[in-house]
Amino acid sequence: MIHARKLTRSFKLKRGGVVEAVRGIDLDVERGQLVAVLGPNGAGKSTTLRMLTTLLPPTSGTATVAGRDIVTDPAGVRERIGYVGQLSSAGENYRVRDEVITQGLAYGLSRSAARHRADEMLDLLDLRPMASRLPGSLSGGQRRRLDIAIGLVHRPELLFLDEPSTGLDPHNRANVWEHVLRLREQYGTTIVLTTHYLEEADTMAERVVIIDNGRIIADGTANGLKSELAGDSLTVTTATEAEALRAADVGVFFGAVTRDSTTVRVRVSRADTALPEYLRVLGEKDVRAVTATSARPTLDDVFLALTGRSLREDEVAA
């Protein structure tokens, strides 16, 4: 459904200098996949999506999307895809149902086909009760769902969603996800979406593509990436910082260590066997653990292992 090779985009800044937003992305997405593109602010997620959706020409590189070339046949790509950007696509003048119908007409559907399709999408996204309201009166989550309905009106095989859940409260986020998953189940639509939210990418998408600094740095299932790149973690807290320092010194014999005040974290391949052994050695060195826990890795641990930075700070800032 998507085949991109060495896709690259740089921006010349007015005040001089160049931003290399996307630096040579290779990406293949098969029909029916649900792919989450994850990365910190400014990683190049939106720029990648905007190139794949023909909103922005690449500086270099090639891509076919839904079988059409993004550079030589942008109209062909657009007919076959839906795109829901970060900003709401609904205007304020039409009522919800009319807004979807108008979009259908813009795609060349007949009036009756546009009406039929609009109703189908309003049902799919549970927007029927809001059909005659103005978009401005909808909640954030309802408005996002309206954006998705608009993006789907021409029955695209492939839907791009740029941060569909950013800015929504957890309830509305879960609700938007429920609808995205339903869409996929009912229509088999291929979905590529960007997100800042680690947990969402982890639990909802079958494939996670992590972008940083304009490059893909990891690509796979969440579980695959975690076991391949991160490993389990042991966390021990001590009563004093001096003890934590000693615990960190011991920890390096077990795996990579990070320490924050009296908390020491050690990355190991198998926490179940490493934790008792670590505690035993700490006892020998007169270090008493106040708490000791082990955890399976998260996608943040994957990102940390790859870049030395946490995605969490970004998530909090978003």
Ligand X SMILES: Nc1ncnc2c1ncn2[C@@H]1O[C@H](COP(=O)(O)OP(=O)(O)OP(=O)(O)O)[C@@H](O)[C@H]1O
198 binds ligand X (CB under 6 A): no
Closest by alpha carbon to 217, among 11, 10, 42, 24?
24
End-to-end CA distance of the chain: 30
Q: How far is the CB of 204 from ligand X (least distance, A)?
A: 18
Q: How far is the CB of 59 from ligand X (least distance, A)?
A: 12
CB contact at 8 A, 109 and 117: yes
Length of the chain, in residues: 318
Instruction: Give the footprint of ligand X on residues 284-303 (CB under 6 A).
Output: none
Instruction: Give the footprint of ligand X on residues 2-31 (CB under 6 A).
Output: 11, 19, 21
Q: How far is the CB of 303 from ligand X (least distance, A)?
A: 13
Q: How far is the CB of 216 from ligand X (least distance, A)?
A: 12
Residue 284: C-alpha distances to residues 243, 257, 261 (Å)? 12, 19, 22
Strand ordering across the sheet containing 60-65 = 18-29, 2-12, 60-65, 68-69
Closest by alpha carbon to 217, among 225, 4, 205, 2?
225
Q: Which is nearer to ligand X, 21 or 35 (CB)?
A: 21
Q: Which sign, positive or negative, has the C-alpha torsion 295, 297, 299, 301?
A: positive
Range in contact with ligand X (rule: CB under 6 A) among 36-44, 144-152, 234-242, 252-260: 36-44
Q: How far is the CB of 285 from ligand X (least distance, A)?
A: 44
41 binds ligand X (CB under 6 A): yes
Centre a 10 Å sphere on the Cβ of residue 308 and count the other Cβ atoms it contains.
7
Taking every pair of Cα atoms in the chain, the longest distance, rounded to a whole number of angstroms, is: 80
Q: Among residues 25, 38, 47, 148, which is the contact residue for ligand X, using CB under 6 A? A: 47
Range in contact with ligand X (rule: CB under 6 A) among 35-43, 257-265, 282-290, 304-312: 35-43
Burial class (CB in 10 A: 0-12, 13-18, 19+), 273: exposed
Q: Which is nearer to ligand X, 99 or 147 (CB)?
A: 147
43 binds ligand X (CB under 6 A): yes
**String of contacts with ligand X for each residue 199-228, x by CB under 6 A:** ------------------------------
Q: Among residues 4, 8, 29, 39, which is the contact residue for ligand X, using CB under 6 A? A: 39
Q: Which is nearer to ligand X, 42 or 74 (CB)?
A: 42
Burial class (CB in 10 A: 0-12, 13-18, 19+), 281: middle
Torsion region of 135: left, alpha or beta (phi above 0 gives left; psi -120 to 50 gives alpha): alpha
46 binds ligand X (CB under 6 A): yes
135 binds ligand X (CB under 6 A): no
Range in contact with ligand X (rule: CB under 6 A) among 39-47, 57-65, 67-75, 229-237: 39-47
Q: How far is the CB of 314 from ligand X (least distance, A)?
A: 8
Q: Among residues 24, 26, 33, 42, which is the contact residue for ligand X, using CB under 6 A? A: 42
Range in contact with ligand X (rule: CB under 6 A) among 43-51, 220-228, 267-275, 296-304: 43-51
Q: How far is the CB of 52 from ligand X (least distance, A)?
A: 12
176 binds ligand X (CB under 6 A): no
CA 233 to CA 299: how far, in whole Å?
Answer: 13
Looking only at the bridges linking them, the beta strands covering 232-238 and 215-220 are unpaired
CA 104 to CA 249: how far, in whole Å?
Answer: 64
Torsion region of 139: left, alpha or beta (phi above 0 gives left; psi -120 to 50 gives alpha): beta
Number of residues that bind ligand X (CB under 6 A): 12
- Residues in contact with ligand X by the rule CB under 6 A: 11, 19, 21, 39, 41-47, 196
